A and B are shown apart, each in its own frame.
Chain A
């Protein structure tokens, strides 16, 4: 009896093993190349648009979700970017604010000049601020892919919309303030259509872009920047 049943058991176990290998192995071997391919495709897509950017003007709508707010805070405004390192986001509402990144410095000022200005940390002393500042700039700048991928892990989440997720390195102090920065790209042109910032405390901010104009005349851009740089008086 034993002699006759042993070959059957061995054959059964071998069959199960081969089946498992057949189902699991190809996936594990093929998954990484698929992710990498998708990431490479999306990075190329991003590069298609950004490499032509000398400056950029766009409209945006923002939505902040926070435990401090009774309801999400919505705003609309204008974004102006000048390569390589100037970025300005100005809310249209006088109750909103203007965020300006220039020469490595960061300023957040209320649009209403009567309101007190809060003190923002120097980027050198805040790893989170430095990381987010750099990556917001790099998203719009005509830089090499290696620069975009520095200081972070880049993922290409699945889905129909081409997206790129930038995550701070494991063990980095940046993770104490930023969880992820996710960017949605226009499937055709590669322009950035949406930015999602997930903060470590649970707050999040979404920026959706429209009316993008690449490489506008310098005079027009200067006018936008000048207007945006001046606080309003209610």
Chain B
């Protein structure tokens, strides 16, 4: 790295990017070099000239092997189909959890015609039973066992009634109402369908359980039949049946692959006329991996083609184009081979890195004195991602630096060495001039862009990290069906209730679910928690007092009389009467754990370093933001997890994350610029322009692309800042030193970077398309401001500094 000397008014301006001060790779020195006095660097030139072709040859051998490896043996296990790696690990969906969606195959028969619009679901239910038998250890009932719930509600139903139903309970226990109810019961006994109607005369002759419909959605999978026609209902087997009767959802917990589970399940339901598909993180990963392996080849080829096109335009030389295109291809292949894991977020970073290497070589062909500085800027371009909270970007930042060592460090030497092999001779760049934009206008542009960027950031909607759907159409359709007829797993918020013991955790879960109960039904579809089946100590005290006031024992005598008057045997209802009249059996957590519900409750129990916890799930309605569930002051003690929670927290912290990451990037760029130029004005001017470039990228996302902002935009903003430094450092240095540089060559260099990234738009991967838009915008804006605005800002700062020093000197006595 060479230092830049201040311009000397008495000496002729020194051209740091003179076309003749560069070696052409033939061991010849140019006329200018011969005329110049020998420097300390000159003795090293000859060994470097010999080393470059050897290094290029060695590199080419490695690159050929890498290309062969990529083309002949695509290493599929290294491909990672996960799409949730921007989300913190704790908030991601459990990869072992999957849903089997069973559909009725399209059949037509007289029987179906008789049933009108309702097709038979008997085969679906039979398929659910068959899967439960075939996968006994992996299939998990969604709903608690119906008999266990019925038994629990028989004994504790009155305690679980919310307080707002107690007036209606008192009405129903009025002797006249009891008599009427029993007459109604006797009336429907004559129906041939009474036995299958769901009227539970023995268990609940007074239909008190209908009062629980007030808490439908808040009490496990209990539904209010007449109010919730679209809600799924649990089958006797514990699966979920869609309201249209055509879909059955079976929950599976398995460490096996989704295709393996699906094959076993398909074998189990063969011949039942049922179609089966799998939805869940495992299926998404497998489909994502398959999609990645299909699309990555085309994306790489398109990118290399875009680079080659721009390189050919920039260099106007077949040999030069071949050298650089081969370097780009080889570097891409080497990186693809070297990276231990290749996911959907890796390729945009990889393409950007190789694009930077291409840009570096293109820019350096005539402007070699800035090579170490701009190379370092490129190597550090996305390193600030290491401090952001997104796991995949953190990992990407480390790989960016390691990748820079592989691509950026040998770039110049390898391309020069390749040039020697193909006898390529660099030509002097034309159109050299000193970039001198007006300082005041440049400074105004920077200030205006920063202000507008801050305004735009407030206007942009937040795009959550999980907002990009899988490109697999079949999987999308299945996910849509699951969300429409059952619930959207992405909208599920997990609440953890901690305690020292299982009973304490269950009581805490009960208290948490009471806090969240107001969400149902307007904002949430269902509260799925064992805590809904137990009452807290405070609730038990209050409800016992209220129920005692009702005088239930006397009401039961009226019931007995009413039964006898209608020709019914009171003893047949003894169990129900005993359950209603006894207030001694309370639905406390320990009783629930010891009851038939115990095995089901234990599936919601887990433990970690903080103790035992019960997992409760809130199924939010589509469009409901997580903050509505969790942002209220009273709910801050809730320990919540889930994609929506992660998105909500991310939206709240995105501004801070962005500022911190960008500030780090600006500081790094400014520091490298200062070390390179030894001019504070350049460092500050470039930092200010880089901030404006990031702001301009935000404005472009807002006004041009009508795009939101989220974690996916972060590398784009950093790239905008980095390309500002990349293009601005040579331009500003030249402006302050009043030495001409080839601005078109600099722009061509960045154009290669932009074109490579932009080629990803042609791919069939939505994440790549979005990333391409953001990265290309950032790079283009950064380069434009770096070349056409940054020199003006640097000049303004330099003049201000000079004026300040001058006035100080004038004021000095």
Write the residues of chain A forming the contact surface with B, with a CB cutoff of 8 angstroms: 62, 64, 66-71, 73, 75, 84-85, 89, 91, 95-97, 99, 101, 103-104, 106, 108-112, 114-134, 136-138, 141, 143-144, 146-147, 150-151, 169, 171-174, 176-178, 195, 197, 199-201, 203, 205, 207
Contacts and interface: CB of A to CB of B under 8 A. Distances in A.
In the complex, which of the residues B117, B197, B198, B226 has the most CB atoms of chain A within 10 Å of its own CB atom?
B197
Given A120-B199, A126-B198, A144-B110, A132 B193 contact: yes
B192 A103 contact: no
B187 A115 contact: yes
Contact of B196 (A67, A126, A144, A150): A126
B461 interface: no
B190 A171 contact: no
B469 to A, nearest CB: 30
B110 A89 contact: no
Given A114-B180, A119-B210, A106 B193 contact: yes
Given A108-B193, A118-B199, A143-B111, A134 B120 contact: yes
B229 A122 contact: yes
A99 B184 CA distance: 14
B572 A108 contact: no
Contacts of B185: 118
B116 A103 contact: yes
B125 A207 contact: no
A151 B196 contact: no
A17 to B, nearest CB: 40
B763 interface: no
A162 B573 CA distance: 38
Contacts of B109: 146-147, 150
Nearest to B181: A116
B110 A99 contact: no
Nearest to B199: A118
Given A68-B572, A115-B187, A84 B197 contact: no
Contacts of A178: 195-196
Given A117-B184, A119-B225, A122-B229, A69 B189 contact: yes
Nearest to B194: A108
B187 A129 contact: no
Contacts of A64: 189-190, 194
A166 to B, nearest CB: 13
Given A120-B198, A134-B115, A143-B114, A172 B122 contact: yes
Given A69-B569, A131-B122, A62 B190 contact: yes
Contacts of B769: none
In the A-B complex, the 6 residue pairs with the closest CB atoms: A121-B198, A110-B187, A147-B110, A128-B196, A115-B184, A124-B245
B88 interface: no
Contacts of A143: 110-111, 114
B188 interface: yes
Contacts of B193: 99, 101, 106, 108, 120, 129, 132-133, 136
Nearest to A171: B129
A69 B191 contact: no
Contact of A132 (B183, B190, B192): B192
Given A62-B192, A95-B183, A132-B193, 6 more contacts: A108-B197, A115-B184, A130-B121, A136-B193, A171-B129, A173-B129
A70 B569 contact: yes
Contacts of A70: 567-569
Contacts of A137: 114-115
A85 B225 contact: no
8 contacts: A68-B568, A99-B191, A108-B197, A121-B225, A124-B244, A134-B120, A172-B125, A199-B196
B100 to A, nearest CB: 18
A122 B228 CA distance: 11
A124 B184 contact: no
Nearest to A142: B110
B194 to A, nearest CB: 7
Nearest to B572: A68
Contacts of A174: 122
A84 B194 CA distance: 22
Contact of B197 (A106, A200, A203): A106
Contacts of B199: 108, 118-120
Contact of B184 (A67, A110, A128, A150): A110
Interface in B348-403: none
B249 to A, nearest CB: 14
A117 to B, nearest CB: 7
B165 to A, nearest CB: 16
B422 interface: no
A84 to B, nearest CB: 5
B102 to A, nearest CB: 15
Contacts of B113: 84
Interface string B145-177: 000000000000000000000000000000000
Contacts of A138: 111, 114
Interface string B111-134: 101111110111001100100000
Interface string B408-448: 00000000000000000000000000000000000000000
B279 interface: no
Given A132-B192, A151-B111, A123 B118 contact: yes
Contacts of B244: 124
A206 B263 CA distance: 47
A136 B192 CA distance: 9
Nearest to A114: B180
A125 B111 contact: no
B572 A91 contact: no
Nearest to B225: A119
A130 B120 contact: yes
B577 to A, nearest CB: 13
B237 interface: yes
B567 A69 contact: yes
B114 A147 contact: yes
B190 A96 contact: yes
B241 A125 contact: yes
B192 A173 contact: no
A68 B241 CA distance: 32
B207 to A, nearest CB: 7
Contacts of B241: 124-125
A16 B191 CA distance: 57
B236 interface: yes
A115 B183 contact: yes
A116 B180 contact: yes
B190 A84 contact: no
A111 B225 CA distance: 22
B233 interface: yes
Contacts of B122: 127, 130-131, 151, 172, 174
A171 B272 CA distance: 13
